[in-house]
Amino acid sequence: MKKSILVTGGSGFIGSNFIRHMLGKYPEYRIINLDKLTYAGNPDNLRDVEDNPNYSFVCGDICDSVVADRLLQKVDIVVHFAAESHVDRSIDDASAFVKTNVLGTFILLDKALRNKIKKFIHISTDEVYGSRIEGSFKETDILTPSSPYSSSKASSDLLAQSYYITHKLPVIITRCTNNFGPYQYPEKLIPLFITNLIDNKKVPVYGTGKNVRDWIYVLDHCKAVDLVLHNGTVGEIYNIGGGAEKTNIDITKKIFEILNKDDSMIEYVQDRLGHDFRYSLDCSKLKALGWEPEHDFNEALTDTVNWFLKNRWWWEKLRH
């Protein structure tokens, strides 16, 4: 069955990998990519699919209600990736996070309702739950976000839920752990460390590097969203995790091993304000739909390092 899908933020890291996955798997689907092309939105991310007749790009802002309304008249489904997402930037100035993540999501939901969208997949983050020392968060747990970024995402989650509860807009929410892989903007930990080390620069490690994150290869995330889009239950929330909890220092040393570097390349820096210690998700609800992460962490990290080694043309111009 032919579907028309609006992907917001499709020129970003996860969105571009999702579009490439969907175009490859579903040649009968038509995809419109709406992206404002802020610093993390990169046309090079989808250079290889620009000529696909089922793909089209619109440069625009999700906060522009006229653009949102015009595009939502043309599609059946929305997959909403667009967001400001870097925690450090949100600590320095939260205004763009509130505007894009909260107001932008509201505008999309409102126009989706008016245009009778058949499904609205809202992409969120594990950070909305906050931190925990042991155990894993379930979808029903209370949200206790710590940063302006995660607070803005929690707000957008609640808005999305309210449109389902109040208006029966067919919303599904996904919350994912830390992604890594090709085309990730080099401000995030893994691509920053890889590109620094390729250039023989030190890597900045917060505090003692003992903070724990669960990591997932981006293609496993994309396949999970694909599954939820087709088989998820409307009104539900699904956690997505890679099942690979690592401390930041463990990640650092693994990258050192792949690139033949040593601990002399570490520069310990002052810890992030309000730094969450550990994120962990219970993904049994998603696994009940038949999903499992397919990529081994160590193999996927090696593949990612090799991708950055081979694609200096892509990342060198993004570094400041």
Question: Annotated catalytic sites, by residue?
Answer: 126-127, 149
Give the DSSP letter string of the chain: ---EEEEETTTSHHHHHHHHHHHHH-TT-EEEEEE---TT--GGGGGGGTT-TTEEEEE--TT-HHHHHHHHTS-SEEEE------HHHHHH--HHHIIIIIIIHHHHHHHHHHTT-SEEEEEEEGGGG---SSS-B-TTSPP---SHHHHHHHHHHHHHHHHHHHH---EEEEEE-EEESTT--TTSHHHHHHHHHHTT--EEEETTS--EEEEEEHHHHHHHHHHHHHHPPTT-EEEE--S-EEEHHHHHHHHHHHHT--GGGEEEEPPPTT---B--B--HHHHTTT----S-HHHHHHHHHHHHHH-HHHHGGG--
Q: Which among 294, 295, 211 has a CA at the least distance from the CA of 245?
A: 211
Place of tokens 């081979």: 310
- Rounded CA-CA distance 166/36 in Å is 30
